[in-house]
A and B are shown apart, each in its own frame.
Chain A
Amino acid sequence: MNTAVRLSSLILICLVAVSCGRQGGSSASADKPFVPKPEKNDNVLRLGNGDEPQALDPHLVAGVMEQNILMSLLEGLTIEDPKTLQPLPGAAERWEISPDETVYTFHLRENGKWSNGDPVTAEDFRFSFERLLSPNLAAEYAYMLHIIKNAKAFNEGRIKNFDEVGVKVKGERTLEITLEAPTAYFLAVQSHFCFFPVHKATILKYGRIDQRDTDWTKPGNFVGNGAFQLVDWKVNEVIRVRPNPHYWDAATVKLSGIEFYPVKQAETEERMFRGGQLDCTSTLPLPKLDTYKKEYPHLLRSDPYLATGYYLFNVTKKPFDDVRVRRAFALTVNRQLICDRILKGGQMPAFFLTPPDTAGFTSRAALTGSLHEARKLLAEAGYPGGQGFPDVELLYNTSENHRIIAEAIQQMWHRDLGVRVSLVNQEWKAYMDTRRKLGFGLCRAGWTADYNDPMTFLDLFVTDGGNNNTGWSSPAYDQAIAEARRTSGSTRLEAFQKAEAILAAELPILTLYHYRTVDLVHPRVQGWYPNQLDHHPYKFVSLKAD
């Protein structure tokens, strides 16, 4: 009985598969290009958002999917221009910068309001920064605020009094921030979620200032100052937001709401898009890319994206404690082939970390060398032809696309170096945990820029950096980054060049490719401009009616 059911379902699947194959062929010959018919015409933007967010507390998250949601609910001192990403006035109406570029005075707008009607005050911002920097909150992203004077010392518990930190309330609507050193990207980074304000009264109503995971982010409790407010949060199902009537620029908001769907499987997401259930996807299954390029190019979006994919080496353990082994592994990967034949979305082979032309910076140092050299290095390290090479695991977070790439690279190492690497996949939370504890030999990773500056990439690998995850540490590298933090202009760029040169020589990571966004966007979505961070401030987005 059981078998019969299974058998018939299998046969059915086969039949469906064959008929689908035919359908694909016929639609190509149709006259009008295929456009998914939206399931509902209620002016609500529906987005595929990859996975369930860790939380909706801007001080406790670290991912792209959380950024996508939080930028609808909260607003920093500045917001981004949807096309150029240049800072525009957000919660702050205007600001003054001291001649030495270390003191920023922000003037909050008169009509800035929280979603419960309370005015947005300078004290709210001061409170938020204090919260993020509280040692007890242990926020992953606290290091982003270390550019503020004494913030690092407070975050590390060396200063107990927040008044010593460079954040001062100068009036109900005036906030003065003093920096450690001139920081060119300081205005732009205000639109990153770690600089978002939280409503002081709400936080204190549901817990202490430095208490994690209180109820304040639940629908009904959440108070934000963004263009939208939280309506509904069904775990693993959907997060709904609708326009915030108290928002200072409510007139600009055109959408009637946004729904974020945590769809983990790229195939499911793509199917939902075709069925008109989603307006935008977060990714696209690799095998489908060719079909979309050929038959539905009007639905496909592939834009430059400041992000780099790489593999982390665990340099604390054999065999990757030896730079020769790391170099041999890095040289063997045929990045061009991966970009051309697997990714196919216009990604660029990465021979250094920072994507080319990030705020005018392109690394001079790059990984170069031949396969011959790779084999020689491996032999010198004591593994001629891969003999005696220990068992090594390559860890990746569960995803069809990551697996396809990992299998191809696994073959390259096997074929050209004679080395066997086994693949291990884990779901996101377990993967992040193993990664932080260095429970791997090699580990897939990717970094998306938080702001348009090389610093967002290069400060990853400072000693004990929150996202270093390799165990690697270099005083010269730390020094170069510290120098870049202190200086500006060409001196600063030279410091970055130094850092990239150290990375290219010591190779704590194996850079793979510089990303492009590859996803699907429905033609009815307006104001969804290509930009380097793939940020799309929702108040500028609208839906074209049929």
Chain B
Amino acid sequence: MSTPDTDELEKGTSLGHDAWLRLRKNRLAVAGGLLLVAIALLCLIGPALSPYGYEADNLQLGAAPPSLSHWMGTDYNGRDLFTRVMVGGRVSFAVGLAATAVSLLIGVLYGAIAGYLGGRTDMLLMRIVDILYALPFTIFVILLLTLFGRNFVLLFVAIGAVEWLTMARIVRGQVMGLKKQEFVEACVAIGMSRRRIILRHLVPNTLGPVVVYVTLTVPSVMLLEAFLSFLGLGVQPPMSSWGILIGDGARAMEVNPWLLVFPGLLFSLTLFALNALGDGLRDALDVRGAKD
């Protein structure tokens, strides 16, 4: 009879489970993840619980500092900042998620295919990326605006159209290095399909840089959203988003500092949480570093 100990050893664990165990040990990452979930929940549920609407103004009150009735104070039109921060968070999270999804789905696959197949296919695919890269973003956005008019959905189209490009390049570079390694040769030798090699063996190996890049993408698109909103593509007043709130707050900071401090604080916390989680994920998923 084998002892339970050896039994467990022989059973082994899946890659995902392995990573999960490692991630759980990383306290900072766990804290980051929890914080992120907490902020997301707050933004999702909070506005429904708030006694104020995000657009309900109170001109008599005007800009008031934080108080018991308005926890984060009010803006110049007398609107509750707490509610506006929570509602704005939805937009910012949605934009962040959309960008992440696009760069993961399109960017990673595109880069992996180009990198693995190489040759002419690679040439063709990467030149397409180059062309899209060369398109000045502002002009692209204005083009979208004139063709389709002002539409909130276009915000996601614009961000989606550009956010996978860098990711594709990063993954392609990684895959080009990986495909010369023995484990890929082994896969080819035992007759695995290309599709299986790319999805099962190459993509998981690129996760390190991918995760790091995603954590960089999210904050940058949140700022991009503010820029696009200014051009008229994103959210329009009286709707709010973190980008808009921070932009407005920065202008009013000398008179009404709370208008900058609270949205800025929440934005920073979100980025911290994302970074901590991203770091943890990278360590947990890095198959090479953790096979010891």
Partner of B62, one of A11, A24, A288, A341: A341
For chain A, which range describes its interface: under 10, 10 to 19, 20 to 34, or 35 or more residues?
A: 35 or more
B253 to A17, Cβ gap below 8 A? yes
B26, CB-defined interface residue at 8 Å: no
A403 touches B268 (CB 8 A): no
Candidates B236, B248, B253; contact of A13 at CB < 8 Å: B253
A7 within 8 A of B: yes
With A17-B253, A288-B255 already in contact, the answer to whether A3 and B264 are too (CB < 8 A) is no
Judge whether A50 is part of the interface by a CB distance below 8 angstroms.
Answer: no
Contact A3 B232 (CB under 8 A): no
Give chain B residues whose Cβ lies under 8 Å from the Cβ of A403.
237
Specify which of B223, B238, B255 is in contact with A410 (CB 8 Å cutoff): B238
A 503-542 binary contact with B (CB < 8 Å = 1; else 0) = 0000000000000000000000000000000000000000
| Complex: A10 Cα to B150 Cα, angstroms | 30
> Given A407-B77, A408-B59, A423-B236, A14–B261 Cβ distance below 8 Å?
yes
Q: CB-CB < 8 A to A287: which residues of B?
A: 63, 76, 252, 255-256
Instruction: Choose one: A3, A267, A406, A426; the contact of B219 (CB below 8 Å).
Output: A3
Q: Is the CB of A424 within 8 A of B76?
A: no
Does residue B209 face the partner (Cβ distance < 8 Å to A)? no
Chain B interface bracket (under 10, 10 to 19, 20 to 34, 35 or more)? 35 or more
Please give, as numbers and ranges, the residues of chain A lying within 8 Å of B249 by CB-CB distance: 17
The docked-state distance in angstroms from the alpha carbon of A16 to that of B257 is 9
Q: Which residue of B lies closest to A424 (CB)?
A: B232
Q: Which residues of B contact A16 (CB under 8 A)?
A: 253
In the complex the two chains form, is B268's CB within 8 Å of A11's CB? yes
Point out the residues of chain A lying under 8 angstroms from B255, CB to CB: 24, 287-288, 290-291
Contacts of A414 in B (CB 8 A): 55
Q: Tell me the smallest distance from the CB of A5 to a CB of chain B, in Å.
A: 11
Residues of B within 8 A of A6 (CB): 219, 223, 271
* Minimal Cβ-Cβ distance residue in B for A398: B230
On whether the beta carbons of B237 and A406 are closer than 8 Å, the reply is yes
* A342 to B254 CA separation, bound complex (whole angstroms): 18
In the complex, besides A14-B268, A17-B257, 20 extra interface pairs with C-beta distance below 8 angstroms are A3-B219, A6-B223, A6-B271, A7-B268, A10-B268, A13-B250, A13-B264, A14-B265, A17-B249, A21-B253, A21-B257, A287-B252, A287-B255, A406-B237, A407-B77, A411-B55, A423-B236, A424-B150, A424-B232, A425-B232
Q: List residues of chain A with CB under 8 Å of any chain B CB.
A: 2-3, 6-7, 10-11, 13-14, 16-18, 20-21, 24, 267, 285-288, 290-291, 337-338, 341-342, 400, 403-404, 406-408, 410-411, 414, 422-426
Interchain residue pairs A-B with the least CB separation, the first 6 = A17-B253, A21-B257, A341-B59, A17-B257, A20-B254, A17-B260
